[in-house]
Amino acid sequence: MYPDPDRNALGTGHDRVMAEHRPSSRLVAVHLVIDVASHADIVLGLAVADGPQRSSESLVIELDGAAIEPLPLGAPHGGRLHQLRGIAPGRLTVAYTATVVGQAPPAPVGDAEWYQYIRPSRYCESDQLGPFARAEFSGVTGVDLVHAVSSWVGTQIAYIPGSSRHTDGAVNTLLSRRGVCRDFAHLTVAMLRANGIPARVASVFAPGLQPMDFHAVAEACVDNTWYVIDPTCLAPRSSMLRIATGADATDTAFLTVASGLVDIVEMEVGATAEPTLPYDDITTLEQLL
């Protein structure tokens, strides 16, 4: 069984908008207010990844009203990080906006990616889940396996905001049977890897997500193509915008505090699609473009 389509944030019946094509443009915005309690080293992972054309983009970072220039860092799969080193105590504000037009071409799958994303990782313990995952999906392969795992996670795990810790991985999610988007993604990735399919996690902007926030999804490699999987069914996959990509949440966090003490005071995330928000047919395969 596939997850209940009524869980999709687009609503049901006449509330849904069918669209044959992907959105022509997407607008995203992030506003962060962070109190820095001691000198800190911070990395931000909230900019749209390279690929689709950005018709406009702005990143403004200030500490107690004084502008700070971050150090841009490249990341795998077009990711764009911004490093802040030695930030003094004070109030840090971050304002990011971007308008993205069109779609990125599908990225070719490199030879090393199979090995990189078939192995267990910190939050996707496919080695520990191996016996269970292989028994649960015995005899299922390829695209059918991708659909089966997504359906299983979507129906067996309860989406409950605040129900998991940032240190929880796929094993804890399986045992507790609850979590948020990153937990759904971690468990999906771990189950796929345990059954021989390379899989990874992507952080995204997700127009249609309710309540709006950063979102995490999985990607599975089948026939040398990466397909996006979102067992939460909370937003249409074809309108999502990639931010960061990696083995798990260690590679896709929107805020990494390498040293020092900080506290997030305010966080607002916005993402819209124009001209319409497409309906997501969860029985089809989609690529994160």
Domain count of the chain?
Answer: 1
Q: Does any domain span residue 137?
A: yes
Q: Let me know the angle formed at the C-alpha of 271 by 269 and 276, rounded to the nearest 5 degrees.
A: 160
For the stretch 119-161, pLDDT in tens is: 999 999 999 999 999 999 999 999 999 999 999 999 999 999 9
* Strands of the chain, DSSP E: 25-36, 40-44, 53-63, 66-67, 71-74, 80-87, 90-101, 158-159, 178-179, 199-205, 215-222, 225-229, 241-246, 255-259, 262-274
Using the 8-state DSSP alphabet, how is residue 119 labeled? S
Give the separation between CA 148 and CA 188, rounded to whole angstroms. 10
The pTM (predicted TM-score) of the whole model is 0.91
pLDDT at position 8, please?
A: 36
Give the separation between CA 149 and CA 189, rounded to whole angstroms. 9
CA–CA distances in Å: residue 145 to residues 1, 78, 141, 156, 280: 13, 28, 5, 16, 19
Q: Does any domain span residue 91?
A: no
Packing angle of the helix pair 126-136, 181-194 (nearest 10 deg) = 70
Q: Does any domain span residue 205?
A: yes
What is the rounded (10 degree) CA torsion for 279, 280, 282, 287?
A: 150
Q: Does any domain span residue 3?
A: no
Q: Does any domain span residue 161?
A: yes
Q: Does any domain span residue 218?
A: yes
Those residues of the chain that have pLDDT short of 50 are 1-20
Residue 239: domain span: 106-250
Q: Does any domain span residue 277?
A: no
The CATH number of whichever domain residue 152 belongs to comes to: 3.10.620.30
For the stretch 183-199, pLDDT in tens is: 999 999 999 999 999 99
pLDDT at position 21, please?
A: 61
Q: Does any domain span residue 87?
A: no
